[in-house]
Structures are given as C-alpha cells and as structure tokens.
A and B are shown apart, each in its own frame.
Chain A
Amino acid sequence: MGVNKPIKVLWDIPREERFAPGHSMCQGCGAAITMRHLAKIMDKNTIIAMGTGCVEVTTTLFPRTSWRNPWIHLAFENTAAVASGVEAALKALSRKKIIDDSRRIKVVAIAGDGGTFDIGLQSLSGMLERRHNVMYVVYDNEAYMNTGIQRSSATPYGAWTTTTPIGTKLRGKPQPKKDIITIALAHGIPYIATANIAYPVDMVEKFRKAYEVDGPSLVHVYSPCTPGWRIRNEHTIEVARLAVQTGVWVQLEIIEGEPRVTIKVPRRKHVRHYLRIQGRFRHLTDSDIETIQKMVDEYVEKINKWVGEEAIGPVVE
C-alpha cells in the first residue's frame, strides 16, 4: 500500500512525486496542490478514474500525461460508474487468477464539484450504494471552472459567477451550497472526510485512511480557484486557511457514521475576513455579510451539536 504509517507531522508526507509537473493548471491552483498530495499516498498499485474537468484536461494533453498510475477518463457524469467498472473487473480477474490475487489494487475516483454534486450525483450514489471498494475524491472549487466559472450546486450563497452575475435584481448565487457530506452519509459508507489544502498533514492523513478503507470512502477537498474566485495567486492557501478559521469550512472525519472535527477552532474569525479577500464576494454589503455570518453560525451550531462538543468556538475577531 501507499503509505503504511499515519501522517502526523509534515515530515511524514512522502517526498516522492507521483504526479508530474508540467501540467497546465493555473498559477496558484488549489486543485493542483490537492492532486500532488493525493498522488503521494497512492503507490503503483492504484488505478485512477477521473471525470471531465479542470484537472483532467490540464494533465492529459495528448501525447503527454502527468499521471504515473494507470488512469482512465470517459466523460463528465460517470466517474463513479467508471470506477465501479474498474473495481468489478479487478475483482473478477483476481478471482480467475488472471491478475495476481494476492495483489491489492485500489481504485481512486477523482472528480470536481460539478462532476460530483451535480451531473455525477446519480452515478456516485450508485457506486456508494453498491459498496464498491473505491476511494472517491471530490476537489471542490465551488463552480464550473473548466468552462469558465459558472455556478454549480457547490457554489456558496452570494458568490459571483458568470451565471450568477451581479445586477440590480439578483446579486450573486441566491441559494446556499449543497451538503454533499450528508448525502454521502445517507449511504452509510465506512469513511467520509472533508479536507483542506491549508492543512496538509490532516489532508494527507485523511487521504491515507480513505485509501486504506475496504469499501467506499469519500474525501471532499476544499480547493480554491485563483481566477474563479478572483483571488491573488499567492492567496490560495490563505483563503483556504480563512475558510477553516471562520467556520465556513469544517474539517470533519466520519468513521462508520461517527463524526469528529479534526481541526478544532476554539476562537473563530468573523466571516468578513474570508469574504473580503475574494473578488467573487466583492459586491456584498455589510448587511449581506451579516446574513452570511448568520448562516455560518447556524452551520457551526449544527456541527457542534452533531459532534457533541464545541469544536468550533464563537466569533472573537
């Protein structure tokens, strides 16, 4: 298997790069950081199924590939179905001794938020319900970035996108972000986690656990998009960190239905710190920001209740 021992400190993250540079992801791309570290926990015995999206088109421009593992892409909405097919084939061929049956080959499915929350939701549900031994990673950049920043069901409330423009009648996305974690939870799968590139030790350890689980697992990774969020290239990690520090994003781990917060935030920052650094929220008035703060407060309260402790504390600055 990829990494045998738990990732506890930064120095436990393997030095070896299984994801080659030279891809055409944007400067400061959060998804690129996600992919680099995801690839680090996979050893050669991993087959990747990827859905159409930013990462797919920027890493496999024929005739070169960034991937050093067997990798397959068919289309946008079927990442989980493709992963299911790969996993079933591995099972059958191992049983028939066409593939060495002592060799454990893991299937990792990767798709964006559009390919997971929206168009790929049905195939994801099918895969989770059928209990395929697949690790599913959704890199969430909160809109259709590959086609040029259109809203998805993962786009947060109030965010500007090209299809939720700022006008006199409508000002950004009127609906809140879809809760994919609860949807995954409803399938009763053994491992679910949220991860964030600003917390690499936590993220890589979650990748490792999701990879090791026998059965379906899902890791939802917060992956900022510099052009789509209208943020400075060097602010990718800063924005990701503020998401956690403000409680907009909570680092969760749900093992066999038991939730816990892995990165506790005893003293929360006001959400304006998070919003004001991003161009996609530039239009928000102070009262809009207070509305969002209330939404975050409600979310934090719900999480705290669920995990049975005050994992995320009150707003103090």
Chain B
Amino acid sequence: MSLAQVVERKVERIAATGNHAAAYATREVDIDVAAIYPITPQVQIAEKIAEMVANGELDAEIIPVESEHSAMSAVVAASAVGARAFTATSSQGLELMHEILYIASSLRQPVVMALATRALSAPINIWNDYGDVISMRDTGWIILFSETVQEVYDNIIQAYRIAEHPDVLLPVAVTLDGYILSHTIEPLELVTREEALKFAFKRPRGYRPVLDPDDPITIGPLAAPNWYYEIKRQQIEAIRNAGRVVREVGREYGKIFGRTYDLLEPYMIDDAKIVIISLGATASLVKAAVNRLRKQGEKVGMVKIRLYRPFPAEDLIKVIEDVDAVGVLDRAVVYGSPTEGPLFNDIAVTLATRGIHKLLVSFVHGLGGRDIFVNDVIAMYKKIKRFAEEGRSPEKTVFFGVKGEEV
C-alpha cells in the first residue's frame, strides 16, 4: 500500500484511557467470547466491554465468571471451540490464573489477554510494577509490552493476527502499565471494524483443530514419558519462531495504518556509548532522559523491548553491538537470582552465550508504584557512566530509589 493510500484513510481520533483502548480493540476485531473477573486497575476493560455488548456495539458472549481461574479456563475452552476469546486481569488475578496460563499455551489456544500491570502482594498494592507480567514470562505466552495508549490498542489488534497465525497458535498477553496507561487519557487513533477485520481476519473454522462434532478430537489428554517431551519440544519451536510472525504483522500494520511495529525499538543508538534498556511505559521516561542528556552532549541511546517473549535476542545484539555499556531498568524483581532484574538477566545471557563482553548494570526501580522521574533516569545514566569509567560491572543489582540505599 502506498503512502497516498495511508493518507486517504479517514481517521477518527478520540481521547481514551488505556483500559478503554483495550476494550475498543476487542470491538474492532469482533471478539466472540469475553470472560473477565473484576480487579484493579483492569476493571474498566470489563466494564467497557459489558457496555458495548449491552448497547449492541459488540456481538460477544460475556461470561461473568466467579474468579480469574475460571476466566482463563473459560476463554481457553471457548478458543478450543474456535471462538475469538479475550480476557483481562492484573496482579493477583494473574496469579490465580497461573495454572491455566501454562495449559493455554500448551494446548496451543490463541487467546488474547490484556494485562494492566500491578505489583504483587504482600503487602497488597494496587499500583504499577511488572511483578505480575514477569511471573508469567515462562508460561509459554507471547508477551507484548505497550508504551502508550495507542500501542495498547494497536497491540491487541495485532495480537489476534499473531496468535491465530497457523505457524504460531499461541496465546498473547498485551501489557498496559497500571494507572500510567490504564487510567491515563491519551489521544487514540481508531481503526474501523472493517479495516481491523481485514487485517486481523477471522480464519475459516477448521483451519486449526477445534472441538467440532463432525470431527471429534480429544484435547488435553494424559501424556506419559513416551510422548510428553515431544509435545513440549514442538511447543518450544512454536514460540521460538513466533518472533518472525510478530515482525511481519507489525510491518503490515504499519503499511496499512501508518504505525509500524518491530520486536524492539532503538532510539538515538547510532553513535551511543551507553544504552539504557527498558520495557513498557518506563520507556517514555527513558526517551525523555535521553533527549535531555543528548542536549548536554552525552552519547546515550535507549532500547525499548516490545516483544518480551519470545525474547528478541538477535535483534538486540544487532542494535547494541557497538555500545560500551548497557544499563537495564527493571520494574520487577526475581528473588534470590544472581542479579535481581529479570530483563537484565535475559540480556546478560544473550550477551554471554554469544561471547560478547560489555559493561552491564542492573537497576531495579519503581516497585509498587514508586514514581520515577526523568532526573532519576539521568542519575542512573550517571551511575552507569561512573562504572564505565572505572571499567567494571557491578556484581549486584542496584536498587534505585529505595529509602536507605544511596545511589
């Protein structure tokens, strides 16, 4: 499609919260079944979908489930019948779903879930961090992070195209930072239902195995040691290869709607000596810090990881090949790990397995909704620079912004 055609599209712009954007995206792709249990800060997604069904804007069956465990169970089952299914949750709700998260991916069901990220109990805390999404990183789901309200919307539309791709057939989670995106009103450019359904088209029933009386199959059997391993190996291959489809879908989305997506997004990277890597809405803050530092003549860049699982290792290596030092911002912890930043650990392994040595700094910040500001990112940058001058990577994670620890 040419640029002229893109411009010709009639575009409706509205102002919306991330939660409402997520709900609108499900309307555009004409979901068939939604099962959502209320939890803060995701709950407006459930409310908006209910409202759209009530006023006839969306033709879907809503299952007002009695728990998140049942929400996830019901959408996996609905997907197994061939329906386009959707759920949303946060924090403790995701933890209650946990058992079924593995089953969703292992049964290869293309369900899509919006995750308004929120800290995990205890203590109970309703504010943003990535403790919940990190807890699902190893469950076999494809995980897309969003930086803006627009990305939440675009990611959900793309998520169905990715999940249902015959080479993928895996569930997809799309994050939106709790409150920071879920409740913040930003401009949102809508895609019409016709356009969305042309892009994330519904494939003919039967292109993948579904529960069909005319073709009875058994889904979710017992597999003994003689075949369990092979079934798992096939699933590993599916998520390994999903990155290719995520890239193709992101490019095509850009061609049609003018917003191109890749697996990760480098910024000011070309001549950078130091790069800061982050996820989600934190990336906006890092971008602002990079802009300010660049004005001061600092050679700094950043990388936003959009596709967290499968981890885009090759893409990352390409963009950070020439930098001297890498700082990684994690808004979550992995307790008792050699370093406590989960994203940091992925990046350290990516580099180590390829024999690439760089100065690495792991930062944890913003747990339980503790705000960070542009100046904080600048302070972290200075810390990385100090380590670079000293020529050594710190062995331990730096806990930034916690009372009693000096940075």
Contacts and interface: CB of A to CB of B under 8 A. Distances in A.
Interface stretch (B152-160, B173-181, B214-222, B245-253): B214-222
Contacts of A122: 66-67, 70
Nearest to B60: A92
Interface in A73-118: 73-75, 77-78, 80-86, 88-93, 95-96, 98-99, 103, 105
B81 interface: yes
A89 B85 CA distance: 8
B65 A74 contact: no
Contacts of B81: 47, 85-86, 89-90, 93
Given A62-B224, A85-B78, A88-B61, A69 B69 contact: no
Given A71-B216, A130-B64, A96 B77 contact: no
A74 B220 contact: yes
Nearest to A56: B222
A78 B222 CA distance: 17
A22 to B, nearest CB: 14
Given A72-B219, A130-B64, A85 B69 contact: no
Contact of A74 (B63, B100, B213, B224): B100
Nearest to B62: A88
Q: Interface centre among A60, A67, A88, by most B CB within 10 Å?
A: A88
Contact of B32 (A46, A56, A84, A96): A96
Contact of A84 (B77, B99, B107): B77
B69 A123 contact: yes
A300 interface: no
B223 interface: yes
Interface string B216-235: 11111111100100010000
A146 to B, nearest CB: 11
Q: Interface centre among B65, B67, B76, B77, by most A CB within 10 Å?
A: B77
A85 B211 contact: no
Given A86-B77, A123-B66, A72 B205 contact: no
Contacts of B66: 122-123, 125-126, 129
Given A70-B211, A70-B216, A71-B216, A49 B67 contact: no
Given A93-B82, A122-B66, A84 B211 contact: no
Contact of B211 (A80, A86, A98, A103): A86
Contacts, number: 161
B69 A77 contact: yes
Interface in B186-207: 205
Contacts of A86: 77-78, 80-81, 211
A103 B217 CA distance: 19
B74 A62 contact: no
Contact of B213 (A46, A88, A93): A46
B14 to A, nearest CB: 27
Given A74-B103, A75-B100, A92-B61, A123 B73 contact: yes
Interface string A46-69: 110100000011001111010111
A187 to B, nearest CB: 12
B77 A105 contact: no
Nearest to B63: A88
A47 B64 CA distance: 22
Given A70-B217, A83-B77, A85-B76, A92 B83 contact: yes
Nearest to A73: B220
A18 B52 CA distance: 42
Contacts of A233: none
A67 B32 CA distance: 27
A130 B37 CA distance: 14
Contacts of B67: 122-123, 126
A47 B65 CA distance: 20
B25 interface: no
Interface in B100-137: 100, 103, 107
Contacts of B77: 49, 72, 74, 81-86, 89
A98 B222 contact: no
Contact of B73 (A56, A63, A82): A82
Given A81-B65, A84-B63, A84-B74, A71 B99 contact: no
Contacts of B61: 88-89, 91-92
A89 B32 contact: yes
Contacts of A62: 221-224, 227, 231
A242 B218 CA distance: 36
A81 B216 contact: no
A82 B73 CA distance: 5
A89 B78 contact: yes
B106 to A, nearest CB: 10
Interface in A1-49: 44-47, 49
Contacts of B223: 61-62
A74 B100 CA distance: 8
B348 interface: no
A216 B83 CA distance: 22
A228 B65 CA distance: 35
Contacts of B224: 61-62
A39 to B, nearest CB: 12
18 contacts: A61-B221, A63-B227, A70-B212, A71-B219, A74-B77, A81-B71, A82-B73, A82-B77, A85-B73, A85-B75, A85-B76, A85-B78, A88-B83, A93-B83, A93-B205, A105-B213, A123-B70, A126-B66
Given A82-B74, A95-B59, 10 more contacts: A44-B216, A57-B222, A61-B223, A71-B217, A71-B219, A74-B73, A74-B107, A77-B69, A122-B66, A126-B66
**Interchain residue pairs A-B with the least CB separation, the first 3:** A85-B77, A85-B74, A126-B66
